[in-house]
Amino acid sequence: MDLEATVLTQIGTSEGIADSLEYALALGVDHQAVVGACKSLLTDLYAVTTNERTDTVWTLTDEGKNVAADGSAEYQVYCSVPAGTEGVSMADLQQAVGEAVKLGLGPCLKNKWLKKAGDMIVKLATDAEDETAAMLVLVGNGTPDSVSAKDLQALKKRKLIAQTNRRVFGFAKGPSYRATRVKKMVEITREMLGDKADMPPGMPHWSDLEFKGVNLNAMGAPVGGGNFHPLLKVRPAPCVIIGNRLE
């Protein structure tokens, strides 16, 4: 999908894009990609901003994304313990799940999914569910309201989610709107000049093109001072005769 062309067509309608977030969700694309395409159109006045707001939202951290995809540490530990009364030794459990046992064993014991029997870990629950991963999936899908405030704070404490600010925009047609975006040229080349009738095939004339604006009031780059040649830096100072001595 050509996102810029799709956005340009929508901006040309009477509704425009009232809410960039809702529009991105309807298209099934990343919100920042929609905002980037619209802001690119702003530079040539194909679009204008009609409104703007800032929302505080919950987002997954990198660790939270891994947990949502692969399961929480406690659920990995739980699944590594076989059913039955024999269980598994701590050494075998550490070998099976690695570092996850340090993070996941405590919650498993607290939730009464597992229990310790000497040096053995025995499974108690037979129908445990990975609620942590399920809640992270809800947050990642943009529906954190389905998770209680207490659980959100618990996930935040575990550094699985974080609160961030998200800017949402509205866009409408600008004064230079066209159904198809025309690329503006940066400079005039010699090939663009001359009689339009004498132009070779495929070579546009400058009068048929659009050019980017030039700020004639912009200050030029600062001119720095010169430097001494290295030989001038090491040559001896000139001698001066003062009275009867040479200095």
Q: What's the CATH number where 94 sits? A: 1.10.10
C-alpha 10/C-alpha 13 separation (Å) is: 5
Task: Specify the pLDDT at position 242.
Answer: 65
Q: How far apart (Å, rounded) are the C-alpha atoms in residues 207 and 180?
A: 19
Rg over CA atoms, the chain: 34
**Number of domains observed in the structure of the chain:** 2
Asked if residue 143 is part of any domain, the answer here is no
247 domain-assigned: no
Write the DSSP symbol of residue 72.
-
Residue 204, in any domain of the structure: no
pLDDT for the residue 149 = 92
The pLDDT value recorded for residue 52 is 92
DSSP helix/strand/coil, 32: helix
Within the chain, which residues score under 70 in pLDDT?
A: 237-247
> What single-letter DSSP state applies at residue 235?
S
**Tally of residues, the chain:** 247
* Predicted local distance difference test score (pLDDT) of residue 167: 92
Q: Are residues 79 and 123 in the same domain?
A: yes
Percent helix, strand, coil in the chain (nearest 5)? 40, 20, 40
Neighbours of 84 (CB within 10 A): 9
Q: Are residues 51 and 7 in the same domain?
A: yes
DSSP state of 146: G
Collapsed DSSP state (helix, strand, coil) of residue 102: helix
**Are residues 40 and 81 part of one domain?**
no
Q: Does 133 map to a domain? A: no
This model's pTM is above 0.75 = no
d(CA 173, CA 45): 8
| Residue 187 forms part of a structural domain | no
Examine residue 235 and state whether it is found in any structural domain, yes or no.
Answer: no
* pLDDT score recorded for residue 244: 62
Range of the domain at 113: 75-127
Could you give the CA distance from residue 100 to residue 115 in angstroms, rounded to a whole number?
17
In a domain, 219, yes or no: no
Claim to verify: residue 47 and residue 18 sit in the same structural domain: yes
**Domain-located, residue 86:** yes
Phi, psi of 246 (to 5 degrees): -100, 125
Q: Of 64, 67, 84, 85, give the one whose Cα is nearest residue 76.
A: 67
Q: Are residues 52 and 80 in the same domain?
A: no
User: What pLDDT is recorded for position 243?
Assistant: 62
Q: Which of 115, 147, 173 is the last residue of a domain?
A: 173
**Sign of the dihedral defined by the CA atoms of residues 9, 12, 16, 17, in that order:** positive
